[in-house]
Amino acid sequence: RAAAAQGRAAQSARQVGAAEEQVAGSTQQVRSADAVLADAERDLATAQQKLFATRQELQAARDFDAKLGADLADAQDKLSRARQEVLSGQERVDAHRRLMGTAAREAWQQQTPLEGLSVVVGATSPQELAQRLQWQETVFDTQAADKVKLDALLLQLRSARDEQARVEAAIAADKAAAAAQVEVVAGLTRRAADEEARVEELVARQQRALQAAQARLASDEQALGSARSAQAAAQRTLEAAQGELAASRQELDRAVAEAKEREARVKAEVARQRELEKAAAARRAAAERAAADERAAAAAAAAAAEESRSVPPHETVSAAGFVRPIDREPGSPFGMRFHPILHVWLMHEGTDFGAACGTPIYAARSGTVLQTGPDGGYGNFTLIGHGTINGVYVTTGYAHQSRIIVREGQGVARGQVIGYVGSTGLSTTCHLHFEVRHDGTPVDPLRYIP
């Protein structure tokens, strides 16, 4: 479980790293978009300045166009007055010319070679003569004055015509300037519209780029948040698994310590039993030789009997002189295995037999009970010594019992009920854990039992 949690934590860390890289890339894109937007804003400011200048030029052009219009209207008004003045002057000149013509004709018609004499002869007195001469001078003065007036009228008419020509020329120039100004205003209007469109496009494009970059950043930050949440969950799972692993290792350390202590006790007991064996060796040797023939005969008789009837496993004797400690088939074998509770690979120092709690347990061989009672992970445990076999001291162990019915120091016979199946100690279900040891070192039990 700890290894799986570590795997999930590593995968979450990789996902967080990838998400952080994506966020860093998106952040850089946003920064780039910000920089581009800043450039665009500077371009926008320049464009807006140009637009402002263009609008000022356009307004000045429109103001100038309005002034031209006003000047043109004023000039046209002046032209109208000048034309009226020319017509009036012409009429006055024509009228004065007609008057002078009439007077000239009359004077010419009345003119004779004796005209001057008639003025003198016709006078009746010196006073009348003086009067007549005065009249004559007045007539001539009047004619001269009319001529001067006519010249003045002609001069006024010429001035009026010159003013009309000047005004007409000014109107023509104003119309040409107004026409040119119309083109200028139209060009400035188009340029202003183009610059406004360019400004709007710059702003819209950069806003779209910035919004897209910000959207990618938000998405990546959300993915990063999810990845970090998953990493935190995986880390919590890992820490819990590591806590369980630490607890399991502590339990394992206790079990190992208990096993070593038990092994030390067994070895001490084995040593003691060996001493006892040595002391009784002679007696046993004699007794065994005496009983050898009896056992051979009994074995032959038992073999013959076994052929004629079905024998339970705990009554079937192997070549090594052992019976099966329970009437069940062997399960989890001797050797390395993944511990179902500690979740680590450990040496399985015996063979398991699955059976219901309360199933009888039998002594695998005759011997002496060396140990009974609770024994750490073994739960309720019984250890029986069977003496030296083939140069080694052999013991058998029976673990996880629900109840033990023998006591330490008691002699037991092969096949005798010594307890009942349980699930005490480090156990997940009802079963018998059976061990065989050589001088305290575990060996495969299936080498001894049938």
- The mean predicted confidence, pLDDT, of the chain is 81
Phi (first) and psi of residue 17, to 5 degrees: -60, -45
Is 260 among the domain residues?
Answer: no
Tell me, what CATH number does 90's domain have?
Answer: 1.10.287
Give yes or no: residues 342 and 221 share one domain: no
Q: What is the residue range of 319's domain?
A: 311-447
Give the pLDDT score at 441: 93
- Band the pLDDT of 1: cuts 50, 70, 90: low
Q: Letter for the amino acid at 423?
A: S
Task: Looking at the structure, tell me whether residues 220 and 325 fall in a common domain.
Answer: no
Domain end marker among 190, 225, 260: 225
Give the per-residue pLDDT at 117.
56
The mean-pLDDT minimum among 105-109, 113-117, 321-325, 358-362 falls in 113-117
Angle between the N-to-C axes of helices 126-308 and 2-110, in degrees from 0 to 180, rounded to the nearest 10 = 170
276 domain residue, yes or no: no
Residues 325 and 186 in one domain: no
The pLDDT of residue 143 is: 64
Instruction: State yes or no: pLDDT of 3 exceeds 50.
Output: yes
**218 and 330 co-located in one domain:** no
More confident residue, 119 or 160: 160
Tell me the Cα Rg of the chain: 71
Residue 443 included in any domain: yes
Q: What is the mean pLDDT of residues 239-248?
A: 73
Torsion angle in degrees (nearest 10) through CA of 114, 120, 122, 127:
160
Tell me the residue type at 202.
Answer: L
State the number of CA atoms in the 13 A half-sphere of 152 facing the CB: 6
Domain match, 353 and 209 both: no
* Token pair recorded at residue 51: 């637009």
173 pLDDT tier (thresholds 50, 70, 90): confident
| 123 and 221 housed in the same domain | yes
Query: In terms of domains, do 213 and 320 share one?
Result: no
Q: Among 236-240, 303-307, 385-389, where is mean pLDDT lowest?
A: 303-307
Look at residue 190 and tell me whether its pLDDT is greater than 50.
yes
The CA distance from 413 to 415, in Å, is 6
Total structural domains within the chain: 2
Q: Residue 265: what pLDDT? A: 78
* Whether residue 252 has pLDDT greater than 70: no
41 & 187 share domain: yes
User: In terms of domains, do 58 and 170 share one?
Assistant: yes
Q: Does residue 294 surpass a pLDDT of 60? A: no
- Compute the average pLDDT of residues 2-6: 71
Does the pLDDT value for residue 361 go beyond 80?
yes
Distances (CA, A) of 222 to 7, 30, 43, 105: 23, 16, 34, 118
210 and 353 housed in the same domain: no
Question: Does the residue 378 lie in any domain?
Answer: yes
pLDDT at position 288 is 67
Highest mean pLDDT among 68-72, 207-211, 400-404: 400-404
Distance from C-alpha of 170 to C-alpha of 159, rounded to nearest angstrom: 16
Is residue 231 classed exposed, middle or buried when 0-12, 13-18 and 19+ CB atoms within 10 A define those classes?
A: buried
Q: Which of 225, 256, 286 is the last residue of a domain?
A: 225
Cβ atoms of 321 and 365 within 8 Å: the answer is yes
Nearest to 51 by CA among 188, 182, 186: 188
- When mean pLDDT is compared over 83-87, 235-239, 281-285, 348-352, the highest value belongs to 348-352
**Of the candidates 177, 199, 225, which is a domain's last residue?**
225
Could you tell me the pLDDT band of residue 308, with boundaries at 50, 70 and 90?
Answer: very low
DSSP secondary structure letter of residue 394: E
Q: Are 67 and 128 in contact (CB under 8 A)?
A: no
| 288 lies in some domain | no
- What pairs with residue 383 in β-bridges? 371, 397
Q: Residue 289 falls within a domain, yes or no?
A: no
Q: State percent of the chain over pLDDT 90.
A: 25
Query: So what's the pLDDT on residue 73?
Result: 87
- Kindly tell me if the per-residue pLDDT of 222 is higher than 60: yes
Reference 328, options 396, 418, 421; nearest CA is 421
Nearest to 60 by CA among 170, 192, 172, 198: 192
Please report which confidence band the pLDDT of residue 236 belongs to, taking 50, 70 and 90 as the band edges: confident
Contact 141, 98 (CB under 8 A): no
Instruction: Specify the pLDDT at position 325.
Output: 97
Task: Judge whether residue 21 has pLDDT over 80.
Answer: yes
**In sequence order, what DSSP letters do the residues of 81-149 get, joined into one string?**
HHHHHHHHHHHHHHHHHHHHHHHHHHHHHH--TTHHHHHHHT-SSHHHHHHHHHHHHHHHHHHHHHHHH
pLDDT of residue 383: 97
Same domain for 46 and 178? yes
Q: Residue 302 falls within a domain, yes or no? A: no
User: CA–CA separation, 265 vs 279, rounded Å?
Assistant: 21
CB atoms within 10 A of CB 55: 16
Give dist(CA 113, CA 117) in Å, integer.
Answer: 8
Nearest to 350 by CA among 426, 431, 437: 437
What's the token pair of residue 437? 């040891």
d(CA 151, CA 99): 14
pLDDT class of 367 with cuts at 50, 70, 90: very high
Locus of tokens 């000014």: 170
Largest interatomic CA distance in the chain? 229
CATH number, position 414 = 2.70.70.10
Digit-coded pLDDT (tens) for 50-65: 888 888 888 888 888 7
pLDDT tens column, 102-146: 766 766 565 555 555 555 566 677 777 777 677 666 656 776 776
CB 247 within 8 A of CB 5: no
Q: What distance lies between CA 111 and its chain's CA centroid? A: 125
Q: In terms of domains, do 191 and 319 share one?
A: no
CA atoms lying within 13 Å on the CB side of residue 81? 7
- Whether 202 maps to a domain, the answer reads yes
